[in-house]
Structure 1
Amino acid sequence: MSALADRVDAFLAHLTHERRVSAHTQAGYARDLARAADWLEERGIADWARVTTADLREFVAARHRAGLKPASLARLVSALRSFYVWQMREGLATRNPAVDVRAPKRAARLPETVDVDDLAALLDATPQDDLEIRDHALLELFYSAGVRLAEAVGLDINDIDLAGGEARVLGKGSRQRSVPIGSRAIAALRNWLKVRPQMASANEAALFVSQRGTRLSRSSVAARMQRWAVQHGLPVHLHPHKLRHSFATHLLESSADLRAVQELLGHANIGTTQIYTHLDFAHLAKVYDAAHPRAGQRSETGES
C-alpha cells in the first residue's frame, strides 16, 4: 500500500472513531480520496504535502470530464478540504491546497408550480365529508399563506387569528413569523373548526388532527392532498411544496415584490427567494413567444 493510501486510511479511521460520520459519508469520502491518491500516483506525486492547488483543480476537472455530477464534485472537494484540515491538525501538512478549489455550480432547479386556473378549479371543489373539509382547509392554507408542510402540521389552534386574518408559524431555525390568510382560506378554516371537535382528542392543541384525534402527520397530508388532486381531476402530481411554490410564483407574477415574498416564505436569505424570479422570467418569455408578432425571430437573430 502506498504512503498516499496509508494517509487516507488514517483519516478514514479518524472519521469513524472520532467524528463518527455516517457510513454513507465515509464511503463517499473513501471513494473520492482513493481516486485522488491513484490520480496523484500516476503523475509521480507520492506525498500529500507536495500537492498544489493546481494539482487538485486539474484532478477535479478530470473527474468533471469523466461525467461526475455537480453534487458528487462538491462532495469530492469537501472530502479533500476535510482531509487537509485533519492533516494540518496532525502536523502532517502546513497548508490546505483544497481551500481555493471550487466545484462547478449545480444547475438551479426551477420549482414546479400549478397553473392558476387548475388551482382555482381544485380549490373551488366542495368537500363531501369531515375529512375532506379538513383537507380543503389545508389546501387553502398552503396556497393562501405559502407555508411549509412542517409549519402547517405544527400549527396549534391558538396560532391562528381568523378575525385578524393571520397565523403565527414556526419556521426553519425556530424562527417565528406571522403570515396573512386570505378570505377563502379563512372560510375553509372556519368550516374545519366547526367539525374538528368531533375528531380531536381531549386537550389536543393541534389545529389539524387525524381520525385518531391526534396531530396530523406530514405523510398523511401528502397522501390526502394527492388523493384530492386525483379525485378532482388535477392533471399534475400535487404535494404541499408545489402549492408553496405556486403561492410564491403567482405573487411575483402579480407584484414583483421580491422582499415581500421573501418575508412571507420565511426565507432567511433573499438569494433563496430569487429562484422564483427565474421562474417568473421563464413564464414571461413563454407569454412573449406566444403573443409577440416578431417573437419567432428572437432566437434566429443575434442580440443587439
Structure 2
Amino acid sequence: MHLDEPAAVYEAMLAGWGRQQKSRLLADGTVEPRLALVRRFAEFTGSRPWEWTAADVEDFTASLMSGKGRLAASTIRGYHVTLRLFCDYLLDGRYGWVGQCDRRFGAVPSQVCHDFNTAAHLVEYEGRPARRPFTYDEVQVLFDFLDDRVDVVARSGRKGALAAMRDAQMVKTAYAFGLRRRELCFLDLADLRPNPRMPAWGTYGAVHVRYGKSSRGSAPRRRTVLAVPEFDWVVQGLAQWVEQVRPLLDPGARQELWLTERRVRIAVKSMDRRFAFLRAAAGLPAELTLHCLRHSYVTHLVEFGYPERFVTEQVGHSYASTTAIYTSVSDDFKTKTLQSALRRVYGQAPDDVREGR
C-alpha cells in the first residue's frame, strides 16, 4: 500500500503513456512536452485524471486565451490533441486503468475532450498573416547587402571575412534550393551532387537532403533538389565556397559544408540569429525570416512556369496542397497569366486588362 496511492497511480499512468509513445518510435522531443502538458493540466485542475471533467478542459482553454500570454489557435489545438490522446490511453482496455481506478478510487477516467469543447482545424495554414515570401526586389536587396558586407569586412582587415562569405552563401543556397533551416545547416560535402543533364555545373548541380522534415515516428525524409537554370548563379557561389574559401578554415577531414571558425557545424539556432541580424542590417521587415526564402522559392518557381508536381518534389512536400499554401504569386504574374488566357481565347487582350484597370 502506497502512502499516497492517488499520486502513485497518476505517476504510473504518465510513465505508461510515455512508454507507449516511445514504442511508436516518437522522439523525446515529442513525448516529453506532451507529458509536461498533462502535468500542467492536472496542476491547473487540482485533480487526478479519474476526476477530470469536460468543464475542466473548457476552463483550461479559457485561461490559455486570456491575458497578454494568449496562445495561438494552433497551439491550443495541439494541447487539446495531447489531452485527448492521454484520455484515449487511459480508456484503452488493454492497459487496465479503468478497472484500477474503479477498484481503488470508485471513479473512472473519461474522455474529457469532445468535438464541442476543442478547437477544430478549419484552415490549412494558421501561421501569422505577416509572414510572406520575399519579393524579387527584397531578395535583390538582401543579396546585394550580403555581397557588399563581404567586401566591407574584407577591406577592413578585421576578422570575420570568411564568416561573412559563409553567411552570404548559406542564405543564397537556402533560397536557390528552397531548403529548410535544418536541411541547410546539416549539408555535408558529400551531399553536393552533379546533374547529369548539366555536366557544366560539375558537382554543384543538385543537393541531396538527408535531414528533411520527418513524420512522427519516422526517419527524416530524403530528397534530391535539382538546381534550376533561373538560379544557376548558385553553382558558381558553391564552387567558390567549397574550393577556395572553405579550405582556408583548415577543415581537415571534416565533411560539414558550413563550418564555423572553430571548425564545427554551424547550429540551426545560430543561423536563425545570424539571419535576423543580416535582415535587420539590410533594412528589411522583421517578419521576413529565413524560412520565408523557402516560400519565395516556391512562389518564384511557380511564376517561372514549373509544373506543380516538380515544385512539390523539389521542396519535399507530401501533398500539392501543402505547396499551394507556400505560394503567393505577384499581381504582375496574375495579370500576365490573365492576358495570356485572353489572347488564347479571344486573340487579343482588351486594353483594360493590359492597363491593369
CA RMSD between the two structures: 4.1
**1 CA distance for matches of 2:7 and 2:303?**
54
Q: Which residue matches 2:186?
A: 154
For normalisation by structure 2, the TM-score amounts to 0.61
| Deviation of the 1:259 alpha carbon | 2.3
Asked if the contact 1:229–1:237 (Cα under 8 Å) also holds between the matched residues in 2, the reply is no
Per the alignment, do residues 157 and 275 of structure 1 end up closer, same or farther by CA in structure 2, a change over 3 Å counting?
same
Gaps of 5+ in 1: 1-6, 41-55, 294-304
Residues 1:190 and 2:190 are matched in the alignment: no
**2 CA distance for matches of 1:67 and 1:149?**
30
Alignment equivalent of 2:257, drawn from 207, 212, 230: 207
**183-192 vs 109-118, which moves further:** 109-118
Alignment equivalent of 1:76, drawn from 71, 75, 80: 80
For normalisation by structure 1, the TM-score amounts to 0.70
Q: Which residue matches 2:164?
A: 132
| Deviation of the 1:186 alpha carbon | 1.2
Q: Which residue matches 1:53?
A: none
Asked if the contact 1:259–1:270 (Cα under 8 Å) also holds between the matched residues in 2, the reply is yes
Cα deviation, 1:1-30, whole Å, max 9, x if unaligned, reads: xxxxxx997874333343346452222442
Q: Which residue matches 1:119?
A: 139
Residue 163 of structure 1 aligns with an amino acid whose one-letter code is: G
Q: Which residue matches 1:163?
A: 202
Residues 1:249 and 2:299 are matched in the alignment: yes
| Deviation of the 1:249 alpha carbon | 2.4
Residues 1:87 and 2:81 are matched in the alignment: no
**213-222 vs 71-80, which moves further:** 71-80
Per the alignment, do residues 136 and 25 of structure 1 end up closer, same or farther by CA in structure 2, a change over 3 Å counting?
same
Per the alignment, do residues 275 and 159 of structure 1 end up closer, same or farther by CA in structure 2, a change over 3 Å counting?
same
Asked if the contact 1:81–1:96 (Cα under 8 Å) also holds between the matched residues in 2, the reply is no
Asked if the contact 2:50–2:109 (Cα under 8 Å) also holds between the matched residues in 1, the reply is no
**2 CA distance for matches of 1:160 and 1:119?**
24
Residue 13 of structure 2 aligns with an amino acid whose one-letter code is: L
Gaps of 5+ in 2: 19-30, 66-71, 100-107, 152-160, 194-200, 215-219, 339-354
Residue 76 of structure 2 aligns with an amino acid whose one-letter code is: S
Alignment equivalent of 1:172, drawn from 213, 218, 232: 213
SS in structure 2 at match of 1:274: helix
**2 CA distance for matches of 1:166 and 1:282?**
31
Q: Which residue matches 2:314?
A: 264
| Deviation of the 1:271 alpha carbon | 3.6
